[in-house]
Every structure is written in C-alpha cells, then in structure tokens.
C-alpha cells in the first residue's frame, strides 16, 4: 500500500479578471512552503520523510475542488491542509471527504482577508459535521513575506505528525496470537473499537501456529542460524532464581526455541517472501501438513502493524514464554542491525499495544511495555532503605516492571553527540548504541513457579534520567475508548537503594523508575494520585514529552482524553471543539467526541 500522504489544497479567490491572477503566485508559495516544512520534519515509521501532494490546480470553486479530490483519491491522502492568503468561497472550496482529517491555514495579512476566509470556512465545516483544525499566525505578516512563523510551524507540524500516524494505521491489522491472558481486560480484543476508531482489522491466530511452524520448519533456516549465533554471542544469561534450575540441555533448547519463535512471529505479522522457497528437510517431509512446494500462504503474512501474544497460561505452563521475542521485536535492532521496532504486546494486551503503537508512530522510537506495579512514597523509601528521595524522585515514584518483555531501548544506554542518554529514533541508532544496550542487558531464566515452560526475560535497569510519557488506552462500557497519559521522567536511584527495592519484586525483570510531573490538576496533585487514577495494570513509555501530540491525535480519532498533565495552552484540537465549551476543556472533549462518533463509523 502507498504511504498515507498529506494533501495540500491551495485555496484562492475565484474572481478572474485580475483578482485571481494576482494571487496565484502567493497562494502556491504558501502551499509549497507547507509541503517543504512537513517533508523536512515529519517521518513515517520506517524512517522515510512524510510525503505531501499539492492539488493540480488552485481551488477557486466547486469544479476545482472536485478536480483536487479526484487527484487525491489516487494518492492515498489521509489528511488535507487547505492554505490561503485571501478571501475565498468557503463551502464551495472546502474538502467534503468525510474520512480525511482537515486543517486550514489562513495567512495573517492585511492586504487580503485570509483570516476572514478561515473563519467562514471553519463555520461551514462545523455546520457540515466536518471537524477542522485552525491555523492562524499570531502576528501580521506582509503580503510578500514567504516565511512561516514559528507558531504556524508548530501547528502545521503537529497536525501533520498526528495525521500521518492516523493514516499509517488505517487498513492494517492487529494480530492476536492466542486469546485472553489471565482475564486481563485489555487482552479482550474489541473488533469494533479497532475497526471504527483506528481503522485496524483484528485477526486471530492460535498459539499452536508457532508450534506448527517450528515442527514443520516454516522459517528461514539461514536467518535462524545467523540469529542463533548472534544470540549466543550477545545475549548473556543472567542469574537463575530457581531453587531447582533447568539442565543446561534444556536451557540450550529454550534458547533455540525462543530464537525460532521470534522469527516465526515476525513472519506471521509481516510476511516473509523467503518462505515461498522454504522446503522442509527430508526428516520433516513425511509429517502431516508438510508441503514441498513452498509456504506461499505463510509468506504473505497478516499485513500487521502490531500484534500480541497471550502466553499465560495455556502456553507458558509447558512452553518457553514469549519474553525474549516480545523484547526483541519491540527493540530498535536485532541480529540484522538496526530496524524499525515491531509493536508487540505482552499478554496480548492490545489496548496497551495501541498505546505503544501511537507512541512509536509519533516519535519513531521504541515503546516500553510495563506493569504499573508499585507507588513508592518518599516515606516508604526512607523506611525501607534509609535514603530520602531527592531531585525528580523527591515526591515519590512508580515502579514500572514486567516479565522481561521490555525493549532494550529502555536501558537508556544510547547517547547523543553530547553524551546525553536518550532513546533514539530507530534510524539514528548506531552500532555503538546497539553495543551499549546489549551490554546493559542480561537474560534471566524465567521463574519456573510462574512460567513452568521456562524462557528468558530481558533484565536491566533504566540508566539515566530522561523525559518520557506514559500512555494507555482503556475501553469504558457506554463510553468507548479513552486515552490516559502522564508526562514525567525516568529517575535513577543509588545502587543500594535500587537493589533493596528491586529485590522485593521479581529481580529478574527490567525496571524503570518513573516520576510523573505533578501540578494543580487534581489527578496530578501528587504521584499517589496518578497511580490511583491510572485505568489499568499496564502502561507504555515513550521517549519525550509528547502529551500535546497525543491529545491532538486522540481528537482526530474522536477518543476523549481522561487523564493528562499537559497545560491548557498546549492543547490543540479541531476548532469546533470550542463550540462544546471553553471553560471546561475536558468536558468539551467528551461532548465533541460523543457527538462526532468514531472516525470510521
């Protein structure tokens, strides 16, 4: 499928005989400036620049609007940005496609009333039930000023980042491998929510498909040998907490199995053309179900943009858990070098998977899956360890930890050119970063009391203080999906303090200490309140403070935001949200989302 594109619509005063002709150059200059800005600063998940297409003509009326729409229909346009320096005819020039996400940039100048068109067009959009974002510069510009003011840039880029994220999800699949893990609500896949709110097709694959592909050798054997050699060299075993450890022979077999499982699950999701030519060995060819003509159906994959694995308990009670696979798929590299992280949810928690996905799509970085496990008050830390939390940890922190399924990017071992620790956009990850992340991680044998089949968990601690945003989607009966987010920082603790606290839970799992930014909001008055208001047992961490982008994205999908700590001045939603109230922005968001309903209804 072609990449989702931003369509730019140059809108012009339709009066020929001097007026229109005098505006052609200025109008197209705005369109080209917007195109250049977006293509230089917004990226697809694969790291390539976002693509924009400009209408084949300026749009002065309905005939040219139709010509533009006809062209955009051939270009997989997911969103349109209409730009104009002048008065135009609002309802005659507007984008009437109910599926495209819409924004209008009205040039703030005195020679021509671009602001008047902007207001008229926004009113027409509101009347037609078509939400549109308003872009209008704070300061007046001269007619020949070809610069894009910073405040306009910010709105154009936020609109484009979020719209491209929405466009990349549409028409893709979520692959449930297995079903519901341990009664976890987020693991109950709701096909209505995925289809109507995100444009994603849910698919189901039984976990025995992994077993079938292992037994019938439905994987690239050359790549498996390469992967296993890399695993043996770069994935050292950590400590084994089990009173009766498994034998070396069993552990070696588990390493082989989880390596195969990683290749197989990737192929289930994305497909692999090499499977067309895979022929089982002679020992396998006599088995039921073995094909000697290649695995053409399996080579196609499921067109997935994300997936999840149930694991517990029907699988993990007798087979190696999926922790290694989950960690490595979500990481920004593997045995082939750096790669786009493949969003894959532990315990098939698709709602947390969606949080991981939007974080990746907005930033290009790996997302960190975790249990929102424990709130540690300063008093509790002092009582248990004798240390008084300080700095960003002074108000307490939340222990984020899960069964070894976290991406290795969560180590924070990557560094920028100034030596600062961070989580990089995956295409900027260097060999030095990969080496540092691997050296910060070991792989501990699973607790055989919980995971009777064994397996290996990524084991690390986040090494540095970094800005992050914790994200979660939840589904509420009678309301639908809602979004929660909390901006804050990873924090580091003295080694002895970390060890004392970490050893109180499962010390073979990866740990991140998270301190949300607190403020006047009732739900963020203290760290305890954030923990108390979090809507589920899981959360996803994305590098950076991206709350304002998430709020904009949620409004495009008509999903209300139930919890956030973003200042009101940074909230950017469609202009018509203001018609639902301006004093209580949260309430207005709920009313607007309820009125407009899901994006793909």
pLDDT digits (tens, 9 = 90+) for 200-256: 999 999 999 999 999 999 999 999 999 999 999 999 999 999 999 999 999 999 999
Give the pLDDT score at 520.
82
Whether residue 202 is contained in a domain is answered as yes
Mean pLDDT computed over 111-134: 91
The one catalytic residue among 217, 220, 347, 409: 347
Active-site residue, 371 included:
yes
pLDDT over 80 at 287, yes or no: yes
Mean pLDDT computed over 487-501: 97
Decide which of 147, 169, 191 is a domain's last residue.
169
Per-residue model confidence as pLDDT tens digits over 566-575: 999 999 999 9
Mean pLDDT computed over 497-501: 96
Give the pLDDT score at 109.
78
Counting residues of the chain whose pLDDT is more than 70, the rounded percentage is: 100
pLDDT over 80 at 485, yes or no: yes
Residue ranges of E strands in 130-262: 132-135, 173-177, 201-205
Q: Are residues 88 and 204 in the same domain?
A: no
Give the pLDDT score at 1.
52
Decide which of 169, 186, 221 is a domain's last residue.
169
What is the pLDDT confidence band of residue 89, given thresholds at 50, 70 and 90?
confident
Q: Are residues 189 and 314 in the same domain?
A: yes
Beta bridge partners of 175: 203, 307
Q: Are residues 441 and 316 in the same domain?
A: yes
CATH number of the domain at 304, please. Answer: 3.20.14.10
What is the pLDDT confidence band of residue 321, given thresholds at 50, 70 and 90?
very high
Decide which of 169, 184, 201 is a domain's last residue.
169
Cis peptide bond upstream of 313, omega within 30: yes
Q: Are residues 228 and 129 in the same domain?
A: no
How many distinct structural domains can be found in the chain? Answer: 2
Separation of alpha carbons 469 and 544, rounded Å = 6
Mean pLDDT computed over 345-370: 97
The one catalytic residue among 323, 371, 409, 487: 371
pLDDT over 90 at 154, yes or no: yes
Whether residue 288 is contained in a domain is answered as yes
Q: Are residues 157 and 182 in the same domain?
A: no
Q: Are residues 249 and 342 in the same domain?
A: yes
Mean pLDDT computed over 430-444: 97
CATH number of the domain at 120, please. Answer: 3.40.50.1070
pLDDT over 90 at 303, yes or no: yes
Q: Are residues 126 and 208 in the same domain?
A: no
183 vs 7, 98, 187, 351, 528, CA distance in Å? 44, 38, 8, 14, 26
Mean pLDDT computed over 142-166: 93
Mean pLDDT computed over 527-546: 97
Mean pLDDT computed over 21-33: 91
Sequence length of the chain is 601
Mean pLDDT computed over 275-291: 89
Separation of alpha carbons 246 and 453, rounded Å = 10
pLDDT over 90 at 86, yes or no: no
Give the pLDDT score at 601.
84
Mean pLDDT, the chain, integer: 95
Give the pLDDT score at 121.
94
Q: Are residues 136 and 261 in the same domain?
A: no
Q: Are residues 379 and 457 in the same domain?
A: yes
Could you give the angle at which helices 547-557 and 150-169 cross, rounded to 10 degrees? 50
Q: Which two tokens stand for residue 563?
A: 């919890």
Q: Are residues 280 and 364 in the same domain?
A: yes
What is the pLDDT confidence band of residue 598, given thresholds at 50, 70 and 90?
very high
CA-nearest of 355, 381, 583, 368 to 472 is: 355
Q: Are residues 456 and 495 in the same domain?
A: yes
Active-site residue, 40 included:
no
Eight-state DSSP code of residue 388? P
Whether residue 536 is contained in a domain is answered as yes
Q: Are residues 132 and 235 in the same domain?
A: no
Whether residue 601 is contained in a domain is answered as no
Per-residue model confidence as pLDDT tens digits over 521-534: 899 999 999 999 99
Per-residue model confidence as pLDDT tens digits over 155-191: 999 999 999 999 999 999 999 999 999 999 999 999 9
What is the pLDDT confidence band of residue 13, given thresholds at 50, 70 and 90?
confident
CB 463 within 8 A of CB 440: yes
| Domain carrying residue 52 | 5-169
């Amino acid at each position: 499928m072609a990449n989702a594109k931003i369509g730019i619509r140059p809108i012009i005063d339709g009066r020929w005989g001097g007026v229109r002709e005098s505006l052609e150059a200025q109008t197209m200059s705005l369109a080209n400036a917007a195109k250049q800005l977006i293509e230089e600063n917004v990226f697809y998940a694969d790291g390539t620049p976002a693509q924009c297409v400009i209408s084949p003509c300026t749009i002065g009326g309905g005939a040219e609007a139709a010509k533009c729409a006809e062209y955009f229909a051939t270009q997989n346009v997911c969103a349109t940005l209409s730009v104009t320096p002048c008065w135009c005819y609002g309802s005659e020039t507007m984008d009437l496609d109910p599926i495209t996400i819409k924004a209008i940039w009205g040039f703030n100048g005195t020679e021509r009333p671009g602001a008047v068109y902007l207001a008229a067009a926004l009113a027409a959009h509101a009347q037609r039930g078509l939400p549109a974002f308003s872009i209008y510069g704070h300061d007046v510009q001269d007619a020949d000023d070809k610069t894009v003011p910073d405040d306009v840039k910010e709105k154009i880029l936020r609109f484009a980042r979020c719209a491209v994220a929405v466009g990349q999800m549409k028409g893709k699949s979520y692959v449930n491998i297995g079903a519901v893990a341990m009664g976890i609500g987020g693991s109950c896949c709701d096909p209505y929510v995925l289809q109507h709110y995100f444009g994603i097709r849910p698919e189901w694959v039984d976990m025995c498909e992994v077993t079938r592909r292992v037994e019938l050798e439905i994987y690239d054997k050359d790549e498996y040998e390469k992967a296993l050699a890399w695993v043996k060299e770069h994935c050292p075993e950590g400590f084994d907490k089990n009173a009766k450890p498994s034998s070396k022979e069993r552990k070696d077999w588990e390493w082989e199995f989880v390596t195969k499982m990683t290749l197989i699950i990737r192929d289930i999701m994305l497909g692999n053309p090499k499977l067309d030519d895979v022929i089982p060995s002679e020992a396998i060819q006599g088995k039921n179900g073995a094909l000697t003509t290649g695995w053409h159906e399996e080579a196609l994959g499921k067109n997935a943009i994300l997936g999840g694995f149930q694991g517990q308990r029907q699988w993990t009670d007798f087979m190696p858990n999926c922790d290694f696979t989950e960690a490595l798929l979500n990481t920004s590299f593997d045995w082939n070098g750096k790669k786009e992280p493949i969003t894959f949810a532990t315990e098939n928690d698709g709602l947390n998977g969606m949080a991981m996905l939007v974080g990746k799509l907005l930033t290009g970085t790996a997302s960190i899956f975790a249990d929102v496990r424990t709130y540690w008050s300063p008093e509790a830390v002092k009582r248990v360890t004798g240390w008084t939390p300080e700095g960003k940890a002074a108000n307490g922190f939340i222990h984020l930890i899960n069964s070894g399924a976290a991406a290795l990017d969560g180590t924070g071992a990557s560094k920028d050119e100034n030596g600062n620790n961070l989580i990089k956009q995956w295409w900027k990850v260097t060999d030095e970063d990969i080496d540092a992340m691997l050296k910060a991680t070991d792989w501990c044998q699973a607790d055989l009391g919980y995971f009777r089949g064994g397996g290996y968990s990524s084991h690390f601690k986040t090494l540095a203080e970094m800005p992050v945003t914790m994200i979660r989607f939840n589904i509420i009966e009678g309301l639908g999906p809602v979004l929660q987010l909390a901006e804050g920082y990873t924090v580091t603790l003295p080694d002895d303090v970390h060890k004392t606290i970490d050893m109180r839970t499962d010390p073979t799992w990866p740990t991140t200490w998270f301190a949300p930014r607190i403020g006047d909001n009732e739900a963020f008055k203290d760290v305890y309140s954030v923990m108390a208001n979090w809507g589920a047992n899981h959360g996803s961490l994305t590098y950076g403070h991206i709350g304002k982008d998430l709020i904009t994205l949620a409004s495009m999908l008509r999903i209300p935001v139930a919890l956030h700590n973003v200042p009101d001045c940074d909230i950017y939603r469609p202009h018509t949200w203001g018609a639902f109230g301006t004093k209580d922005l949260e309430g207005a968001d709920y009313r607007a989302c309820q009125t407009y309903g899901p994006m793909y209804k």
